């Protein structure tokens, strides 16, 4: 097998590459609304209890989805439980081949799948494309990782005994995925489970059932047996039922902190008939800070902050929410950043000229507005992009300054296009503030003195620290991604250790002496 390499994103700086996007969008438009069924084993039931819409044009229906009933949840888990041993016992190379075929399917249809993400989640083209590429990367990376894992690990061997360490799939994985990386994140969690010989039941985000459905199609078509991958679109109650069920061994969740903590609590309880401890992989929220030292090059800082804070309207767990800037360059940075934010174009995700798309739903729009109002009341809005389209869930990218240290704007995850700037007297003070936060997902540092970089690296609690660059855009295999503290369970998606969460170790020691003869 070829060594892993990241799927190249589209080279959108070339006009012919850009020209293909519109065709893909038209092709997808003609298929809307998608019908998204519940899929349990060989059964498939369409419905329209759940509807996803275009955040930039909420009257446009993207997908009509069935919602899994308690009976279907039960049936899916029963199918998964029954199918798991057979899947686990298939040679790892066969499972890996299935994932690689699924990757090939996504690659073939990548423009159309990205177009669907543009429509259903208002993900701008470059990022929607990157999302599909990341999904492909997860399939390719975990397929290789599972093969490597099958080799086991070296143990100390003595004459007369043979020691063998192997890992095996734990059983049934329940995947609960978010809408903001509507293909990549469900794909990563599902692929990790499948590659290691687990069966999987996927509950996608209610905002993006269409994207997840396309992923399930690709995996099923590539040869994942029906019982091994169930698909249960629905709301929170479907996820809650999965988490509580004794047939589930592993829960892979990406989403809000509140839901994540609830999952951890529920999963800790051992139910009647449950013969194992559940393991939870939770990727939760963040409040990510970028530290800017006095020697930073503002020419680089400003574009990197704009990208980190306002790319996809700030709706990435890795997005920048706070800037802790040295007082010597504070005013200059605020002025330049304000000017850079004022020229941002807020518009439809399908328009390459838009810098900032709408947020996902009305509730998100209102949440951002609440925090902006709070920032205006207790501090000052230094800049905002205008005008913002009235129709659709648009929120104006804004920069807040002069906030009191106890402001909610500085502490709570907003998940929208609002960036707060704070003045600090030193790098020590900046690190103290980062350290005071209960979150630990991503962070950034702009500094050029190697001693400063060493100091901040040493004190940084976050899972992913980016030095002198934007803080979003982690790549599979290059920047294994995941948070510490209350941001997550410390696992690293797209990294070398990730698959370990989905397996259990089994050591076999065989006595090889018989009547004094070593056999």
Partner 1 sequence: MDERALEQEIFAVGSRLAASLPSQARHPLKALDTKAMDLASSDAELKAALFRFVDVVPACRSLDDLARHLTGFLGELEAAPPPVSAAMKMGNSRAGRRALGMASATGVKHMAHRFIVGEDPEAALGVLRGLWKEGVASSVDLLGEATVTQAEADRYAERCARALDALSRAASGWPERPQLEADPQGRLARANLSVKVSALTPLLRAEAPERGKRDAAGRLRELLRHAHRVGAHLHIDMESMDSRDAVLELVLELLSEPEFREGPSAGMVLQAYLRDSPHSLDTILQWRRRGPGAEREHPLTVRLVKGAYWDHEVVDAQQHGWTVPVFEVKADCDRNFEGLTRRLVDAQREGGVRVAIASHNLRSVSHALAYNRLTGGKDTDIELQILRGLGDPLQEALAAHGMRVRAYCPVGDLVAGMAYLVRRLLENTSNDSFLQEQARGAAVEKLLAPPGHEPAAPLGEPAGTI
Q: By the criterion CB under 8 A, which residues form the site for partner 1?
A: 5-9, 11-15, 18, 125-126, 294-299, 302-303, 306, 328, 336, 338-340, 342-343, 345, 352-353, 355, 448-452
Question: Which distant-in-sequence residues (6+ apart) come within 8 Å of 506 by Cβ?
Answer: 165, 166, 167, 168
317 in active site: yes
Q: Which is nearer to partner 1, 271 or 448 (CB)?
A: 448
Q: Which is nearer to partner 1, 3 or 273 (CB)?
A: 3
**SS3 state of residue 363:** helix
Give the whole-angstrom CA distance, residue 212 versus residue 482: 21
- In whole angstroms, the minimum distance from the beta carbon of 13 to partner 1 comes to 4
Give the whole-angstrom CA distance, residue 149 versus residue 144: 9
Give the whole-angstrom CA distance, residue 110 versus residue 512: 53
Exposure class string for 107-132: b at 16+ Cβ within 10 A, else e: bebbbbbbbbbbbbbbbbbbbbbbbb
Q: Which is nearer to partner 1, 28 or 340 (CB)?
A: 340
Closest CA to 116 of 8, 7, 29: 29
Q: Which is nearer to partner 1, 215 or 344 (CB)?
A: 344
- In whole angstroms, the minimum distance from the beta carbon of 299 to partner 1 comes to 4
- In whole angstroms, the minimum distance from the beta carbon of 425 to partner 1 comes to 14
| 3-class SS string, 194-252 | HHCCCEEEEECCCCCHHHHHHHHHHHHHHCCCHHHEEECCCCHHHHHHHHHCCCCCEEE
- In whole angstroms, the minimum distance from the beta carbon of 87 to partner 1 comes to 32
Closest CA to 210 of 342, 53, 370: 53
Q: Could you tell me where the DSSP H helices lie in 314-414?
A: 327-342, 362-378, 408-411
Under DSSP, the state recorded for 9 is P
Q: Which of 133, 187, 211, 317 does the annotation list as catalytic? A: 317
In degrees rounded to 5, what are phi and psi of residue 509? -115, 120
Q: Which is nearer to partner 1, 110 or 249 (CB)?
A: 110
- In whole angstroms, the minimum distance from the beta carbon of 144 to partner 1 comes to 17
Give the whole-angstrom CA distance, residue 501 versus residue 493: 10
- HSE value, Cβ hemisphere, 13 Å, CA-based, for 81: 13
Give the whole-angstrom CA distance, residue 374 versus residue 368: 10
- In whole angstroms, the minimum distance from the beta carbon of 468 to partner 1 comes to 11
- In whole angstroms, the minimum distance from the beta carbon of 147 to partner 1 comes to 23
CB contact at 8 A, 374 and 331: no
Q: Which is nearer to partner 1, 158 or 343 (CB)?
A: 343
- Count Cβ atoms within 10 A of the Cβ of residue 101 and give its class: 0-12 exposed, 13-18 middle, 19 or more buried: middle
CB contact at 8 A, 358 and 393: yes
Q: Which is nearer to partner 1, 306 or 409 (CB)?
A: 306
Q: Which of 127, 134, 206, 283 does the annotation list as catalytic? A: 283
Q: Any idea which residues carry the catalytic annotation?
A: 283, 317
């Amino acid at each position: 097998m070829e060594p892993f390499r990241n799927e190249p994103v589209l080279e959108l700086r070339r006009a012919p590459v850009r020209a293909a996007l519109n065709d893909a969008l038209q092709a997808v438009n003609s298929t809307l609304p998608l019908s998204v069924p519940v899929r349990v084993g060989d059964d498939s039931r369409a419905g329209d209890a759940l509807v996803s819409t275009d955040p930039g044009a909420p009257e446009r229906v993207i997908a009509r989805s069935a919602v899994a009933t308690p009976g279907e949840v039960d049936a899916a888990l029963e199918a998964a439980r029954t199918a798991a041993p057979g899947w686990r016992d298939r040679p790892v190379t066969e499972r890996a081949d299935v994932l690689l075929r699924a990757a090939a399917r996504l690659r073939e249809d990548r423009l159309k799948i990205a177009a669907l993400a543009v429509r259903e989640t208002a993900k701008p083209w470059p990022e929607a494309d990157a999302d599909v590429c990341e999904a492909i990367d997860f399939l390719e990376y975990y397929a290789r990782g599972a093969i490597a894992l099958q080799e086991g690990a070296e143990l100390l061997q003595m004459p007369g005994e043979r020691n063998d360490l192997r890992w095996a799939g734990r059983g049934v994985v329940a995947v609960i995925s978010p809408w903001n990386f509507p293909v990549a994140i469900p794909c990563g969690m599902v692929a990790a489970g499948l590659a290691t010989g687990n069966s999987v039941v996927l509950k996608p985000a209610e905002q993006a059932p269409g994207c997840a459905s396309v992923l399930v199609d690709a995996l099923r078509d590539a040869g994942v047996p029906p019982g091994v991958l169930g698909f249960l679109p629905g709301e929170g109650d479907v996820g809650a039922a999965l988490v509580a069920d004794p047939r589930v061994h592993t829960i892979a969740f990406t989403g809000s902190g509140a839901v994540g903590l609830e999952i951890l609590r529920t999963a800790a309880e051992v139910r009647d008939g449950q013969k194992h401890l559940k393991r939870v992989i939770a990727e939760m929220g963040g409040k990510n800070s970028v530290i800017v030292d006095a020697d930073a090059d503002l020419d680089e800082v400003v574009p990197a902050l704009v990208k980190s804070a306002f790319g996809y309207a700030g709706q990435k767990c890795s997005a920048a929410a706070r800037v802790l800037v040295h007082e010597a360059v504070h005013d200059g940075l605020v002025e330049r950043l304000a000017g850079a934010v004022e020229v941002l174009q807020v518009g439809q995700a399908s328009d390459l000229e838009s810098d900032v798309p709408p947020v996902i739903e009305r509730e998100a729009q209102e949440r951002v507005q609440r925090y902006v109002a709070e920032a205006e009341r207790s501090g000052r809005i230094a800049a905002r992009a205008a005008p913002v389209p009235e129709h659709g869930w648009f929120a104006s990218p804004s920069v807040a300054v002069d906030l009191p240290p106890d402001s909610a704007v500085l502490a709570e995850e907003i998940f929208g296009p609002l960036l707060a700037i704070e003045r600090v007297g030193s790098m020590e003070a900046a690190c103290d503030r980062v350290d005071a936060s209960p979150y630990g997902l991503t962070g950034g540092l702009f500094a050029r003195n190697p001693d400063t970089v060493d100091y901040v690296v040493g004190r940084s609690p976050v899972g992913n620290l980016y030095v002198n660059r934007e803080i979003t855009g982690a790549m599979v295999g290059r920047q294994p991604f995941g948070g510490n503290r209350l941001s997550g369970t410390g696992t690293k998606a797209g990294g070398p250790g990730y698959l370990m969460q989905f397996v259990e170790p089994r050591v076999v020691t065989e006595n090889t002496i018989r009547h004094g003869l070593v056999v």
